[in-house]
Chain A
Amino acid sequence: MKSAPTTAMLRSLLTAVPGARWRLVASILLAAAASGASVALMGVSGWLLSRAAEFPPVLYLQAAAVGVRFFGISRGVFRYVERLVGHDLALRLQQALRLRTYDALSQTTLLGRRRGDLLQRVIADVSAINDLVVRVILPFCSASLVILGTTVMLGRFSPLTALVLLATSVLAGVVVPVAAQRATHRLDAEVAPARGRLADEFHELARATTDLVANGHTAATLARLAERDHALREIERRTAWTRGLAQGAQLAATGVAVAAALLIGGQAVTDGRMAPRLLAVLALVPLAMHEVLANLTQSAQTFTRTRSALERLDEVITAAPVGVGDLPLDSSADTPGIDVSHATIGWPGHDPVVRDFSLTVGPRERVALVGPSGAGKTTIAATILGAIPAQAGAVTTGGRLGYLAQDAHVFSTTVAENIRIGDKDASSERIQQVLDLARLPLAPDRFLGEAGSTLSGGEARRLAMARLFAHDSDVWVLDEPTEHLDRETATALMDDLWRAAAGRPVLVITHDPDVVASCDRSVSL
């Protein structure tokens, strides 16, 4: 299980989070104590019964009886405390990792890059650290301690039995889970694309339903879906087969350990080298060990999953930042406007999307930047806004720039807080004022987003407008302001935008002819 980035990440997080190391040690010890208690319960009980069968004075049994009761009670208690300490540690590490992720992402320019899936994935990947601690590290480390402890204890009575138990435990607890993980890892690599193909099929079906149906493709679509589903099932079947085999192998290993204990211990009893009452201990302990080891197959598989998630995350965190992240607030010229002359524009480290590009937006001017999708219009916007440098040529801007993104995010908070992204000190009067200006009749304290109500496409765009209005800016860059809106909504929205612009220089990136027509001039790519 080679895992350099994951180990390094875990190590640095353990160092960075105060108290993380002792919490880790404490939770491993507690987990080992809990598992150890159930093994000890079986061992001591076996001893108690064997001793009782020798009919000693009752007094001789008292110590063992106390031990049995102690282990009976302590197991649950240890487990409960272990889970609390372990989850607390996992959450602390997750918190630190989230902060690192946020730092890395907030310092790299995301503006205008299609990174929706990356962001989604990052959010899910961060929680893998939680699983790594709770479901992988704690079970494996504590099981190792229990295996070692049990081997040492049994070694005092019967070294050979102890060695056999060690061997079968390592087989059931490490070899089988790791082999199963290796085998299923290969299958998992096939599952992901198969699952992706099935999801693609459903996407297509969901988005193009009427087209498929009206063109008579119902049966063909269902047949293709069934084919994809079958392919996925086939791989999943082989995974289940491997998993089942691993479970069976663990039980067989336990059987071997029990039988070996009986044979070796029995021989020692025959030879008079071992007291007969210890035989029950030797035979019952492997039985209890099985419960400790059984879940490790699941842990090994969780490890594969968490490792790849954390490796992906590591790439994001350690990637060199692109651009400036937050847009610069200061500008290079005094008069409000934009002047791009003979610029080569592209993402740092990538081929330029446009060469020898010139554009000026003077005072009170409205300029449309027109071009087919994929021509690099948003990259030009990111360059003008100062998020990324021009690869060659000069880009100068005057005054503070305000940017209306095509897909501005609606944060899951109140309307007012969403607008305060534009101006953190905006008073409630100011909020109401920009809401009126954006013609968005929403209560400022209304809760939006996931936990609140959702907005229509037009309302979301107007909320972004209100945010722009609240922002103290002298020049506007509008990115596809009418995209995905119906005609009437788009026309009304543009009218309001132009009115609010109030003579500011405006650059509109668009391929809407109506918007182009309302500008003073247009620049084509």
Chain B
Amino acid sequence: MAGPIHPRLLQRVQATKRYVAASVLVGVISAGLLIAQAWLLAHCIVGIFNARTVAPFTGQILGLIGVFAARGLLAWTSETLAHRAAAEVKSELRRDLAAARLSNPVRTDVSSASLMRVATQGLDDLDGYFSRYLPQLGLAVVVPFIIGAAILWADWQSAIIVAFTLPLIPVFMALIGWTTQQSVARRFAVADRLANHFADLIEGLPTLQAFSRARAQRRGVILTEDANRRETMKTLRVSFLSSFALEFLATLSVAVVAVTIGFRVVFGHVDFTTALFVLVLAPEAFLPVRQVGVHFHDSADGVAAADAAFAIIDGPAPSLPAQSSAPVPPPDARLLVENLTYRHPGADHLVIDNLTLTAHPGEVLALTGPSGVGKSTLLTLIAGFTTPTSGRILLGDHPISALDREQWWARIAWVPQTPGMVRGTVADNVRLGLPTATDEQVTEALRLASCELPVDKPVEDLGEGLSAGERRRVALARALVRIRHGQATWLILDEPTAGLDADTEARVLDSVKASGAGAIVVTHRPAVISRADRVIALTPANLPAGADA
């Protein structure tokens, strides 16, 4: 953990700054209210004690109720503020995460699963950070000092006791944390592994049942669970020590203050009012510091979540500019791949080495070659999702890297190996290619793609409800409406590896050609290759055999 406040959260997210300021302000006001409360309480008790009558003090008692009411309002406000800050920060980070993903869609360093985890449960951990840890931190840096000053003003000897023990709390915590860190970390690792054992078995139950081994594993569950409990308890015995130190020091020093000041009252060194005032205030000086210790874990989770989010947000820049004034080449411009070289970030071998090829509108260019030769990578480079290591891709005379990315994407119809589906209906998924497509255009595209699904068939999350082949055909229909009725002039098609009928794809290619658009197709199917005007076989040596430019 980088420090009490995550530096980047503070710098990057405006809402954090405002909130830190607000929580300090809340701290100042609560310290003031606590002092007022102690003062009123001491005066009422001592007043009644001396005067033996309650009547003159009803005003002060009412004032006391007012102070409590104000503290209640402050607590309410502080909770609402904490939520607002957490919500603003979460929304901002979520938006940035989504934008980062969309601006750089084929990053290899972030899996879909980890993006989803960070954006949903991960960011929710910031709730604890903002609603529990930060407010306490705000109180802890303000309240002990103001209250300490009040005690000092009332009775300097008690202030010394508090001033002596209060700093001991973080020191002891650090000391205990420091001496036990290694053994705690080691035990946590063991406990974690044992705890995962149950999850592993439960998830593997169907497999165990298939080999008639599920019931036999029961004994294993008992043994691991016993070991798990013993290891966890060992860890807890040590990790509870730091909160023990906190509570022990805090309560003990209040007790010491009470006893010391009590005896000084007897000897007339301190008056009763001052003594009560100090007694009521002393625990309040310790409370925020103790609470910071209690909520320290919330901070760790929140910081980890923020770190994970920033790691994704601060990833590599997108390859195409968001906005550009470069003129868009005419629809009949050819596509030229020139001396293109690509190496995966961090890898030492080249995936594509000095590749040059040309694709013309109205013709089908088939790319063939064995696995790992960079066919799919070439398509993502052409689409502009990835930045080439060197070389360039030109549309007409303009490098696509200089084009406005939205305008370049408007010119392509993209069908990846496993096409993505959106929730809605089959028609909605076809209209993803062209939102303005009419019902007739959608039906026609589906027919051309041999997709016999009803247009209103629901598509659930992640394409659930459609088979892999059906998703493929819907994606082809999507590309067709974009080319036939939209502005797209290039079909970029990556052939699936699972067995699907090649005839449909061949038919779709005919339709693309007929519309005057060009197609760049990764394939190894004879039926598709036979439709191609040219075939370029990429080889692992990265020298396109039979390439013609």
Contact = CB atoms under 8 A, between A and B. Distances in A.
Given A49-B276, A514-B499, A123 B102 contact: no
A99 B225 contact: yes
Given A203-B116, A215-B409, A262-B64, A251 B258 contact: no
A29 interface: no
A200 B467 CA distance: 20
Contact-residue size bin, chain B (C-beta under 8 Å from the other chain): 35 or more
Interface in B240-257: 240-241, 243-244, 247-248, 251-256
B497 A87 contact: no
Contacts of B349: none
B368 to A, nearest CB: 12
For the residues of B in contact with A, the DSSP-based class is helix
A326 B478 contact: no
Interface in A305-337: 325-329
Given A210-B414, A211-B475, A222-B95, A449 B200 contact: yes
B120 A84 contact: no
B255 A327 contact: no
Interface stretch (B17-25, B45-53, B173-181, B443-451): B45-53
Contacts of A373: 467
Contacts of A328: 212
Contacts, number: 442
B162 to A, nearest CB: 14
Interface stretch (A40-48, A151-159, A391-399, A432-440): A40-48
A409 B207 contact: yes
Quick one: which of B45, B229, B497 has the most chain A CB within 10 A? B45
B112 A206 contact: yes
A323 B365 CA distance: 54
B45 to A, nearest CB: 5
Given A84-B240, A111-B206, A279-B48, A226 B499 contact: no
Contacts of B225: 95, 98-99
A67 to B, nearest CB: 9
Given A98-B198, A213-B102, A259-B61, A61 B95 contact: no
A483 B497 CA distance: 10
Interface string A274-286: 0011011001100
A56 B45 CA distance: 19
Contacts of B276: 46, 49, 280
A259 B65 contact: yes
Interface string A81-94: 00110011001100
A106 B406 CA distance: 53
A442 interface: no
B508 interface: no
For the residues of A in contact with B, the DSSP-based class is helix
Given A69-B255, A76-B251, A109 B209 contact: yes
Contacts of B241: 80
B243 to A, nearest CB: 8
A167 to B, nearest CB: 16
Interface stretch (A8-16, A265-273, A352-360): A265-273
B512 interface: no
Interface string B110-125: 0011011001100000
Given A215-B432, A237-B83, A65 B262 contact: yes
A72 B54 contact: no
A240 B79 contact: yes
A4 interface: no
B420 A72 contact: no
Given A49-B265, A52-B275, A216-B410, A247 B211 contact: no
B347 interface: no
Contacts of A73: 248, 251-252, 255
B205 interface: yes
A205 interface: yes
29 contacts: A45-B254, A52-B265, A61-B263, A68-B258, A72-B253, A76-B248, A79-B243, A79-B244, A84-B237, A209-B101, A214-B414, A218-B102, A225-B94, A240-B84, A244-B76, A247-B75, A247-B79, A269-B49, A279-B48, A325-B215, A326-B209, A412-B196, A412-B197, A421-B211, A450-B196, A486-B497, A487-B499, A511-B467, A512-B499
Given A95-B225, A233-B91, 10 more contacts: A48-B262, A55-B268, A72-B255, A208-B420, A211-B420, A214-B414, A229-B94, A245-B76, A248-B75, A511-B469
The 9 closest A-B pairs by CB, nearest first: A208-B420, A255-B68, A72-B255, A266-B54, A244-B79, A240-B83, A76-B248, A248-B72, A409-B204
